[in-house]
Structure 1
Amino acid sequence: MAWHIEGTYFENCNCDMVCPCSTSGLSAPADHDRCLVVLAFHVASGQVDDVEVSGLTVGVVADTPPLMSEGGWRMGLFMDEAASPAQAEALGGVFSGQRGGPMAGLGPLVGEMLGLEVARIEYADDGRSHRVRIGDAVDLEVEDFVSPLDATGKGVRVSGVGFPADTLAAGTATRSRVNAFGLAFENEGKNAFSAPFSWAA
């Protein structure tokens, strides 16, 4: 059966600015010895088979080697506590890559699944500032970067990326604290991306 979800996403990693991993298709190394990243996906509308999944949020936390294409990722998944068992199963299939789509391409790179936790997820996005709080594990706020030389005020965009969307807004984290799945890090002031996304398989 087919599925389709769309919404908004943002991420924060410990690269300094405009992460080379994402912008190189995982072929250039991160700025540091490990890539520590958290991603939040809010599904504004979507259906997996006959299960409606609109309004739910999923979080991903990962620890990877600097050259992400080498694999060996350690990854954990947060599921919105507002999801019913059927919705959690449907979104779990999508975000684990078991249902195909963009996450399936990352599957071979994951060496260790650190777990799946159900938590209260609060997600907010005003188009420029993006915030998520996942239980006591993640407290993250990022802001898209607008160059002082940009007369349009539209902000810095990176195109041709492909995952999780073709064009990402570049930014920085104004608040970043993660303590989840045995990983603890703070990436305040470090790289962020945000974008609308639309996936199907």
Structure 2
Amino acid sequence: MSWHVEGTYFENCNCDMVCPCSTSGLTAPADNDRCNVALAFHVDTGEVNGVDVGGLTVCVVADTPALMSDGGWKLGVLMDAAASPEQAEALGAVFGGQLGGPMEGLTPLIGEMAGMESLEIAYTEDGRSHQVRVGSAVDLAVEDFVSPMDATGLGVKVSGVGFPADTLAAGTASTARVDVFGMTWDNAGKNSFSAPFAWSA
């Protein structure tokens, strides 16, 4: 069966700005001894094996070595409590990599699946600002960066990245608290990326 999901995403990690992990295809180390990252995906429209998954949000949190390609990731998935059991199963298979697509390529790097929890998720976007709250587990607010030397005001973009989209807007987090699956951090002031995404398999 084929599937597709598309919408918007943003992430925050503990790199200082313009994370070298993403921009190097996981071949350059992070700025710190560990990479602590949370990615929020809001699906505007999508269908997975005949199940409509539009309007739902999924958040992925991970703790990895500085060189992410070394593997041994600890990863957990937070599912939108608004999802029905069928929708949660469908999205879990997409974001867990079981149905192919972009997440499948990351599965060999995962050393520990920390689990999947269903929580209330509030996801908002307002131009360059992006925010998600996932119960008491995740509270992220980021803003895309616009250089004071950029007369266009379009913001800093990094292209040719590939995952989770080809072109990402670079930014910083004003709020970045995670406390779930035994992973706890506060990455306020650190790197963020955002972009529209469209996946299928």
Q: TM-score band (shorter)?
A: over 0.9
CA distance in 2, matches of 1:37, 1:49: 29
What pairs up with 1:97-116 in 2 under 5 angstroms? Answer: 97-116=97-116
Q: Shift of residue 121 of structure 1? A: 0.3
CA distance in 2, matches of 1:63, 1:138: 14
Compute the TM-score of the two structures, normalised by the length of structure 2: 0.99
1:14: which partner in 2? Answer: 14
How many pairs are equivalent?
A: 201
What pairs up with 1:40-55 in 2 under 5 angstroms? Answer: 40-55=40-55
CA distance in 2, matches of 1:114, 1:187: 20
CA distance in 1, matches of 2:42, 2:16: 25
1:136: which partner in 2? Answer: 136
Q: Shift of residue 49 of structure 1? A: 1.3
Q: Shift of residue 127 of structure 1? A: 2.6
Structure 2 runs not aligned, ≥5 long:
none
- For residues 44-78 of structure 1, give each alpha carbon's deviation from its aligned partner in whole angstroms, at most 9, with x where no partner exists: 00000110000000000000000000100000000
2:66: which partner in 1? Answer: 66
For 1:120, give the aligned amino acid: E
CA distance in 1, matches of 2:35, 2:50: 37
CA distance in 2, matches of 1:181, 1:127: 31
Structure 1 runs not aligned, ≥5 long:
none
- For residues 88-125 of structure 1, give each alpha carbon's deviation from its aligned partner in whole angstroms, at most 9, with x where no partner exists: 00000000000000000000000000110000000001
Q: Deviation above 3 Å: which 4+ runs of structure 1?
A: none
- For residues 140-160 of structure 1, give each alpha carbon's deviation from its aligned partner in whole angstroms, at most 9, with x where no partner exists: 100000000000000000000
Compute the TM-score of the two structures, normalised by the length of structure 1: 0.99
What pairs up with 1:1-201 in 2 under 5 angstroms? Answer: 1-201=1-201
Equivalent residue of 1:90, what SS?
helix
CA distance in 1, matches of 2:76, 2:39: 11
- For residues 2-58 of structure 1, give each alpha carbon's deviation from its aligned partner in whole angstroms, at most 9, with x where no partner exists: 000000000000000100000000000000000000000000000001100000000
